[in-house]
A and B are shown apart, each in its own frame.
Chain A
C-alpha cells in the first residue's frame, strides 16, 4: 500500500506539473458537451408542411393551425398546387403533406373513426419519422380536446407514443453518450500515454529494478486517472443537467458504481495499448483509434446497433461503451435500476474483468 501511494503521489505531481494536459483534460469534456449539445443537433424542427384541407371547416382549420403553431412545422415556401400532391414533395417545397379529407368535422362530431393522411418525404429518414411522431402527438392532443374526457376513437390515430424523450431532444441522448465517450477517451488515452512516457524516457527501466511489483506500478499509476475521469464525468453530468436540462431520474450512486467499473475497463485498454507501443505519440494515436472510434460508432451512441451489418453487431459486443451507454441512459433518463439493467451490467463487469486480467498479464517486467 505504501508503495502504491507513493507511485500515485508521483503521478498526481506529473498531472499537476503539466498545466497544458490538465487544461485539456478538464476543458475538453466541457467543450465537447457544448459542441455536441449545440452543433450536432439532431432535433428536428421547421419541417415544411403542406396542408391539403378538403374539409374547410372550423375544426379542420383549427387542426391546421395547431400544426403550424407547434413549432415543429412551417408553411411551405409557395402555396401548394392542390391538383398535384406528389409534385409538392418532388419539388422540395415541402417535406410532408397533411391531407384532411372532406367530412373530417362530421366524423369528429359523430365520433366516428377517422384517419388523417400524412405523406412524408422519406429521403431524410430522421425527419420523416420525426414528422410522423409530431403529427401523431398533435392530432391526439387535438382529439383529446374535442372529445368528452375518457373517450377515444379507436383507430383514429396511429398509436405512436414517444416515451422518455417526449420532446425528442437529442441532447437527452447525447449527454449520457458523451460521458461514455469522454470517460473512455480520458482513461485509456492518459494511462497509455503515462506508461508509454516511462518507457520512452527510460524511467521504466529503473522502476523495474526497484522492489515493486507490476501490479503496484499499475495500480499506483492508474488511481489518479480514475479520479480525473470521475471528475470529468461529473463535470459533463452537471453541465448536461443544468445547462441542457437533461433529466436525471435514477440513482447517482448506481451510476457512479458503473462509472467506476467502466473506467476500469477503459484503463485496462490503456494499459494494454501501452504494452504494445513504446512512444507517447504512438500510444496517443493508438488509443484514439481503439477507444474513441468504437465508442462513438459502435456503441449505439449515434448509430443503432440493430441497423448495423451483422459482423459489426458482433464487434460491438466487445465495446464497453455499448453496455455503459444502455446503463447510463437507463439510469439518467428512465430511472432504471439493476432489475432492468442486469444484462448489460453483467456483460460490462465480465468484459472489464477480462480486459483487466489481460492487461496485468501483459504488463511484464522484462524489456526483451
Chain B
C-alpha cells in the first residue's frame, strides 16, 4: 500500500507559487528524500501532507485517508518533525517526551517502555533531565525525532532534520533512519544536502515548486546528458555573467571554481573561441565525472 500519495498538488502564497502540480508516492520500508535548495517548496509539501495548510488544488492521502477530510484518522499514523527545532527548551528531555506521549494517549506504563527504546537508539538517556534548550544541535534533532516516533507512526515526515547539524551527527542520524526503515516505517525526508541522496532509497529533485527528476540514487546519477568540466577560474560576478551569455553552454559557480556543462552531442571545442574571448584558455578546463549536484543544476537550467 502507498503510505503517502500526493496527486497534482498546487499551493500559492499570494502571487508566489510555492508548489506547482507536484506528485509524490511514499511506500513502506523506504526512505524517500526530497532534495532542493531553500525555497524550493519542500516545507510547503511537508506541511500539506501533515494537514497544516489548505491546498489550492490536488489531493493527498496518508495511509489511505484523505488529508483534507479525514485528517483525524491520519494523526495516529503520522509522525512529523518540523524544520525548526520545535520542542520546549525549558522542559527537560524526558518531560518533552512525556508531553508528546500524553498527546498521543500513551499511559505511564506505555511511556516507560517506549522511553527505554527511544533512549537506546538516541543515546539521550544520560541527558534525561537536561533542558532541551541546553542540548547540542545533533542531540536536539535526535530528541525531536524521538518525539515524532513516540507513537510508532507508519509514516515519518522529517523536514530538513540534518540542516545545521555537524557531519558526524548527520551520519548518526541517517543510521537511525535506516534502522527505522528496516522496522517497516515509510520515511520522507527533505534535505538541501546532495550527499544525502546517496543514503536514501529514492530521491526527488525539486526546484521552484516543481519536480525536476525522481529515481534511485543510481538512476539520478545517470540522468546527466552531455559533458561536465571544471574551469579553474575565479567565479567573480563578472566572469559568471560573461559565461552565462555564451549560448549553448551552462555555467555554475562551484565553490572556488566554475563548472560548465555542454549539451548532448555537442563538443566543448565549439566554444573555445567564445571562451578565449573572455580570457578562458583550454588549459584551465578539465573534464570531470558529473556529480548529482551537476545533474541537479543541469535540470534546473532546462
Contact = CB atoms under 8 A, between A and B. Distances in A.
A binds B: yes
Interface string A350-368: 0000000000000001111
Interface stretch (A42-50, A140-148, A199-207, A312-320): A199-207
Given A3-B103, A10-B88, A18-B90, A209 B78 contact: yes
Contact of A13 (B81, B91, B103): B91
B75 to A, nearest CB: 4
B91 A211 contact: no
In this complex, the member of A3, A5, A210, A366 whose beta carbon has the largest number of chain B beta carbons within 10 angstroms is: A210
B82 A367 contact: no
Interface string B168-212: 000000000000000000000000000000000000000000000
A209 B95 contact: no
Interface in A2-16: 2-3, 5-7, 9-10, 13-14
A221 to B, nearest CB: 12
Given A3-B105, A201-B86, A209 B76 contact: no
B54 A14 contact: no
Contact of B52 (A2, A10, A208): A208
Given A17-B90, A366-B52, A10 B82 contact: no
A208 to B, nearest CB: 6
Contacts of B249: none
Contacts of B253: none
B100 interface: yes
Nearest to B72: A211
A206 B99 contact: no
Q: Dominant SS at the A interface?
A: helix
Interface in B212-268: none
A289 interface: no
A231 interface: no
A6 B54 contact: no
A13 B95 contact: yes
Contact of B82 (A5, A6, A17, A202): A202
Contacts of A212: 103
Contacts of B80: 205-206, 209
A201 B84 contact: yes
Contacts, number: 83
A202 B84 CA distance: 6
Contact of B105 (A2, A13, A14, A203): A2
B86 A209 contact: no
B108 to A, nearest CB: 11
Given A2-B105, A6-B103, A210-B100, A13 B13 contact: no
Nearest to B84: A202
B50 A368 contact: no
A365 B72 CA distance: 11
A158 B47 CA distance: 75
A366 B55 CA distance: 11
B103 A205 contact: no
A207 B82 contact: no
B94 to A, nearest CB: 12
Contacts of B85: 201-202
A2 B102 CA distance: 8
A6 B86 contact: no
Nearest to A4: B102
A205 B99 contact: no
A5 B98 CA distance: 12
Nearest to B53: A368
A25 B50 CA distance: 37
Contacts of B81: 206
Contacts of B84: 201-202
Contacts of B100: 206, 210
A298 to B, nearest CB: 36
A6 B103 CA distance: 7
B297 to A, nearest CB: 30
Contacts of A3: 102-103, 105
B25 to A, nearest CB: 20
Contact of A206 (B13, B72, B82, B102): B82
Contacts of B91: 10, 13-14, 17
Given A205-B80, A206-B80, A209-B80, 15 more contacts: A3-B102, A10-B88, A14-B90, A203-B88, A205-B82, A205-B86, A208-B51, A209-B51, A209-B52, A210-B75, A210-B100, A211-B103, A366-B53, A367-B47, A368-B54
19 contacts: A6-B103, A7-B102, A9-B102, A13-B90, A14-B90, A14-B91, A17-B90, A201-B85, A201-B86, A201-B89, A202-B84, A205-B47, A205-B52, A205-B82, A206-B148, A211-B75, A211-B104, A365-B52, A367-B53
Q: Which 6 pairs from chain A and chain B are nearest by CB?
A: A6-B102, A202-B84, A211-B75, A202-B86, A210-B103, A17-B90
